[in-house]
Amino acid sequence: MLRTIITSLVGLSSIVYATNEPVPYILDISQGEQRPVDYWLKAGGTNPQGEKLGVNSLYWTRNDQPWTPAMGEFHYFRCPADLWETELLKMKAGGISIVATVLYWELAEPQPGQWDWTGDNDLRRFVQLCAKHGLLVWLRCGPYINAEIVRGGIPAWADKDGKRFNAPWYLDCARQWYNQIGQQIKGLLYKDGGPIIGIQLENEFANGSKDHPAELKRLAIEAGLIAPFYSATANTMYHFERGDIIPLLAAYPYRFWQAPAPTSDFLYMTDEWGAMENLGRLYYDATRIPRGACEVGSGCLNSYQDRYQVPVYDMETNAQTVLGRGVNLVGYYMYHGGSNREGWPTSICPLNYDYQAPIGEFGQIRPSFHVLKLFHMFMNDFGHLLGPTQPVRSNNMVAKAEDVSRVRHIGRFNGDSGFIFMNTCQPWVKTHAIDNVQFEVKLSSGTMKVPAKPITVPANTCPVFPVNLDMNGCLLRYATARLLALVPDNDGIPTYIFSEEIGISPEFRFSNTVEIQNGSSWKDGQDTVCRLDPAISATSPVMVTSPSGKRAKLILLPRNKAEHAWRLTYAGKPRLVISDCTVVENMGVLELTSTSPRMEFEIFPAIGQKFFGKSPENVGSFSRIQHQVPIVDWKIDTTKLPAKSWETPIAKELPNNVVDILYKVTYTGSTADLFADSKKYTDNRHIGAPFEWSIKRFINFGTNKITVTANRWDPQVRGIPQADAPNSPAEEQGMIRKVSAHPIYQIRFVPDKM
């Protein structure tokens, strides 16, 4: 509904619609980018264990292998400290490798020389928890950080002429700030065996002397902030030619700071094109810098007047187009939402900093978490293949956001191997399925059509097809399915996990020298073609054998199962777990959480361990484990609803097997406020979805009651679906219509002792 309403704001007369005529999509590999791999950047490092991090002009490296990590922003001070570990485990389960966070200067030094690194601002504890669970850390140290915080985090007492420049007084303040950070993270840097691999200097320093970031870096090193990588946002004035600071990009198709309008983010644009549109200029020589991003919008804040409910498919496509353009470090802003305190946010920002993030303000796992995880599994298991590939664009690529007549597309290739990225999404424009899609891929070995017969790409999707993938000696010419993960079976045979693409028949075309078992296949010229039913293949892998006898397996998951697949290490082996629950691996134990007391998961390769006295059920190559805990009847009093406000007492503790209670409040009104006892804790800017919050933190705070109040409807607010508009004078004053409570159960699956 929201998508339809907001689309009406766009001039639809300018939109180009599709025809039924076939449109050639040509990817000529010889015309792709040919950037040399240059190791000129002064970056990288080695830890005491001998592990190495590096970077060149194309990609980052880990132990000299191409590395394409996913980085997620989580502001530790915007979340209660006693919840940090739980939330970090969720981020790791989502495939995040690096946790990024800003550091808030005024919070640590509200008055000159008065430092406070305790409680929710305990930076050292936060970094130690990241280290405990194998997560790397990228610190965005400022001093100026933006983050929708007043003065960008600079203390009120330092808000005077000379700030953010090389004024002696300001540099002296910055030196003390960096020295304090250095004391907090001593021993936690990568060079010391810790997780901190990156330091961002300043933020969006678009005007001023190039010497300022250089001076900040000098002060940081003096303070002991030594990391393999130093970064700046891509709109920063700095001395690019020195090669010691790496610029990182942003991609925000939904922009709370401007009115709704189509942007070019989904067009696989070049660096120069994107910089000119979004920044007004390119601040560095893009041909010599690896493409990385620190702010891929994985949701959106909402200003008071303009509200955006970001569709999941647009969040997925934003990440996919960033990857397609050649980005090899994908950092999300925000990956985990949070809460502000009174006095922190700028006037445009509410108290909540939920950001519609994959993990919400109260730790809610959202659908976007699952679709982004599809990319993270791929990046983590196949980054060594993706990193060295370079973008290949067509001469007739879509160049205008309003043009939805053709599939937007790009290739990433290294030699004759690579991936085809495409999408049919565009915020603020009415989209539709595109017929007759077929790519002519011009390789050094000849032209290949992908797929062999044209297909229809459904609206609001973003497929990725592998081309000439070496599956342990078995050549997969292409697949109309998405590559996800690589997990050896119990015999050590590499098993390639794929997901079906929405609305596209999955076809696997191998070299005809490959033998196929367990799949419906036939010869077609020089190829062997295999079409799979995801419902069957999910439990019965296809075996492929090369002429030399090397073997690989193939598992194709239905899209709904793929979104609920979890790639982790358990019992000393790489595993794939499929479960509708949230699954985390916590120090060797699988922890499942769900709003259902009955939980199950399937795990590949199969295991023989007993849980709760029961042996696993064999489901093809998977093992299925189930368990149930007692149902909790959590009662709330809603007899006085509808009403302008609603309150509920807070229990002193949670029931057994319950880790939180999630509340969902349906209301009319422009905003709603949540009070913990008498103090306003957070708020909600209505976008047509329920206001969600949970009680665990309030139990920990010792809160006695929660009150939620709906505020007056403001007709100037745009973007709220008509169905959620008030339908009576009473509702125009703000009205809570419905409240529901949902226990969140947890089961720890610990193998029975033999």
**pLDDT for position 280:** 74
Burial annotation 483-492 (CB, 10 A radius, 16+ → b, else e)? bbbbbebeee
Rounded to the nearest 5 percent, the helix, strand and coil shares of the chain are: 20, 35, 45
**pLDDT for position 18:** 41
C-beta of residue 180 within 8 angstroms of C-beta of residue 116:
no
d(CA 121, CA 283): 34
156's tokens: 């009120």
Strand order in the sheet with 565-570: 565-570, 573-578, 598-604, 622-628, 617-619
Residue the block writes with tokens 């949670």:
654
List Cα–Cα distances, 34 to 122, 261, 288, in angstroms. 46, 34, 12
Which residues of the chain, if any, have pLDDT below 50?
A: 1-20
**pLDDT for position 539:** 79
d(CA 282, CA 291): 13
E-state strands within 579-656 = 582-586, 589-594, 598-604, 617-619, 622-628, 645-649
Instruction: Classify the C-alpha dihedral 188-189-194-197 as positive or negative.
Output: positive
**pLDDT for position 717:** 85
Region 2-29+389-562: CATH code:
2.102.20.10
Q: What 8-state DSSP symbol labels residue 295?
A: E
Q: What is the pLDDT of residues 356-375, one digit of tens each?
A: 999 999 999 999 999 999 99
In sequence order, what are the beta bridge partners of 455? 437
Instruction: Choose among 271, 272, 384, 372: nearest CA to 316.
Output: 372
| HSE-up (13 A, CA, CB side) for residue 677 | 7
**pLDDT for position 257:** 84
Who's near 458: CB < 8 A, 6+ residues apart? 424, 433, 502, 503, 504
**pLDDT for position 535:** 85
Write out the DSSP string of 535-582. HHHTTSPEEEE-TTS-EEEEEEE-HHHHHTEEEEEETTEEEEEE-SSE
| Burial environment of residue 174 by CB neighbours within 10 A (0 to 12, 13 to 18, 19 or more) | buried
List Cα–Cα distances, 560 to 367, 421, 579, in angstroms. 11, 21, 10
**pLDDT for position 19:** 43
**pLDDT for position 672:** 96
What is the architecture, at CATH level 2, of domain 38-386?
Alpha-Beta Barrel (3.20)
Residue the block writes with tokens 């011009």:
442
Q: What is the pLDDT of residues 245-297, one digit of tens each?
A: 999 999 999 988 888 889 999 999 887 777 777 777 788 999 999 999 999 99
pTM for this prediction: 0.96
Q: What 8-state DSSP symbol labels residue 129?
A: H
CA end-to-end distance (rounded Å), the chain:
55
| Burial environment of residue 23 by CB neighbours within 10 A (0 to 12, 13 to 18, 19 or more) | middle
In sequence order, what are the beta bridge partners of 679? 676
